[in-house]
Amino acid sequence: SDYEQLGYNLRSNLFRGGPLKSRSLMRDSYTPDIIQKAIRDPNNWHGRRIYELGKWYEKYFLDLNVQKAMKDKYG
């Protein structure tokens, strides 16, 4: 059956998984000097500041807690 065939293939390691060396689109698209010049600022995450993300998550979880409380109270 298909299940037994799959089990045989897994046991005999025909499915070896992904490549050992991963590739990225950025490394393939740009020359090494561009990648070395790139500045990574941990405080500026994709154009947003960390505290802005924190405020967003705080509002998001507050909204979830309000929805949960309303559901518990009113069904």
Q: What is the DSSP string of 29-60?
A: HS-HHHHHH----TTEETTEEHHHHHHHHHHH
pLDDT of 72: 93
pLDDT digits (tens, 9 = 90+) for 29-66: 777 787 777 777 767 666 666 677 778 888 999 999 99
Show the domain range for 66: 2-74
pTM of the model: 0.36
Mean pLDDT of 9-28: 70
As for how many domains the chain has, the answer is 1
pLDDT of 16: 66
pLDDT of 28: 75
Query: Please, which contacts does 20-25 make with residues 24 or more away whose CB atoms are closer than 8 Å?
Result: none
Q: Under a CB-based contact definition with an 8 Å cutoff, are residues 45 and 53 in contact?
A: yes
